[in-house]
Chain A
């Protein structure tokens, strides 16, 4: 009797279950945490990429200067102009310099700088690293005996963390100049008395808080841009998505940080 020797077809390999939305969220958070952890580990370990850090500081700082100057100047003029009607209702236009100084130093300066930098620098980092990832330049760096994380990520994050605070104080200065021009044109206030009002209103805590906030903003812009670029999917679409995600995510985080900083500083101020 003939027996059927044909073996039954092997069952297809079992597909692992797709992780749920919550699991995916925790997995990506763990990935981000490990990326940030690696940054701190590598930032303090030699060799140090001083040359690349300086080059990146130039890229982030000098190349953003024109945009930051224009934005800061316009912010100063517009904010002054918009604040005047409310104060003049109470005959308090003489308070304009102190009001503007507080608003610009405490919030507008750091926030405007960070948002402009997130758009210009964050997108550029995301796109550059994304494109390097897609075209295997990151792999090429690795096989040529260079740690791409240290060379590309650490240098860029340190550069943004150093440069954004400097840009912030520059924005504050330019915005105050814009405000002075507006105040001088309308109230005929002299430059020395304007500056006297400004420095009378701003405290050491305000300046210190702005400095710390902008360091955090700079770090956020750098690390988000690098993370999105390093993890971009293959293809040109991935590069565009990385650049876009770098801007959107860092802007969102900057607002969250601003809110947290506001709570902490208010607590320190005792108000």
Chain B
């Protein structure tokens, strides 16, 4: 049985002034699939996932996520849609003025009404357990390491049990061992939550470890889409250059 497409992007275009970032992007992501979007810095990878969650408006094209055309959603409808989509930011984007407990509670108490204190505590503990950081519950974000912050950022999105996860550079700025931990966590999220994920990265180790498919953004379009080995078997100079600089064997 063919998997259901949960993200459909057709001829998506986005420019910032004279900078044409996305120039006709097409992509379909199936349910419970991890798709890695690769590309050099400034090629519009983050712009793409920000459009998927309605943080940016496209200039033209069609974007459908979980059967809903994102651009047409407004107000309460958009809020409800966003509860189903988890977004892990590049710099974690933890609220500095709140403790880890408050950071995790925030999306929960604001989106799910009539939860008892015990239910909130249970959900927070469960999400922290999932990322293996239960001991940080009363700490402040400034007291955590980069890797811990990334994992707490992911835990905060997991608390609403999203159907789709969008990861923006999940391994950027982390040491190789922590990168492996994050890659494992992304795969665990896929298994445990049956989530569909788009992972934005330029780290080929992450791409290889987490991606069912890899989509390579070149000149504003996905010119190569397929398995990791298929994409990098291509003799295209731009693809090979990307591969060689990452030292993946």
Contact of A143 among B18, B87, B90, B91 (CB under 8 A): B87
Say yes or no: A143 contacts B106, CB within 8 Å: no
B96 x A15 contact (CB < 8 A): no
CB distance from A230 to the nearest CB of B (A): 15
Q: How many A-B residue pairs have CB under 8 A?
A: 57
Count of chain A residues with Cβ under 8 Å from any Cβ of B? 18
Cβ-defined contact, A145 with B83, below 8 A: yes
| Size of the chain B interface, CB-CB below 8 angstroms | 26
* CB neighbours of A203 from chain B (8 A): none
Q: How far is the CB of B155 from chain A (nearest CB, A)?
A: 13
Give the contacting residue for A13; candidates B18, B53, B90, B97; CB below 8 A: B18
Q: Are B106 and A144 in contact (CB under 8 A)?
A: yes
Central interface residue in A136, A139, A144, by most chain B CB within 10 Å: A144
Whether, in the assembled complex, A163 has its beta carbon less than 8 Å from a beta carbon of chain B, the answer is no
One digit per residue, 1 when the CB lies within 8 angstroms of any chain A CB and 0 when it does not, for chain B 103-132 equals: 000110011000000000000000000000
B135 to chain A, nearest CB (A): 23
Q: Are A136 and B93 in contact (CB under 8 A)?
A: yes
Neighbouring B residues of A147 by C-beta, 8 Å? 79
Known: A135-B91, A136-B90, A136-B91. A143 touches B53 (CB 8 A): yes
Task: Report A119-139 CB contacts with B as 1/0, cut-off 8 Å.
Answer: 000000000100110011101
Q: Is B194 part of the contact surface with A, judged by Cβ < 8 Å?
A: no
Chain B contacts for A13, CB-based, 8 A: 18
Which residues of chain A are near B157, meaning CB under 8 Å?
A: 144
Question: Is B85 an interface residue when CB atoms closer than 8 A count as contact?
Answer: yes
- A140:B93 contact, CB within 8 angstroms: yes
Tell me the smallest distance from the CB of B186 to a CB of chain A, in Å. Answer: 18
A146 at the binding interface (Cβ < 8 Å): yes
Asked whether, in the complex, the Cβ of B96 is within 8 Å of the Cβ of A143, the reply is no
Query: Contacts of B174 on A, CB cut-off 8 Å?
Result: none
Complex CA distance for A142 and B106, rounded to whole angstroms: 12
Give chain B's interface residues, CB within 8 Å of chain A.
Answer: 17-18, 50, 53, 55, 79-80, 82-83, 85, 87, 89-91, 93-97, 106-107, 110-111, 156-157, 160
Residues of A within 8 A of B (CB): 13, 15-16, 128, 131-132, 135-137, 139-147
**8 other A-B residue contacts (CB within 8 Å) besides A136-B89, A145-B82, A145-B83:** A16-B17, A131-B96, A132-B96, A137-B95, A140-B95, A142-B55, A143-B53, A143-B87
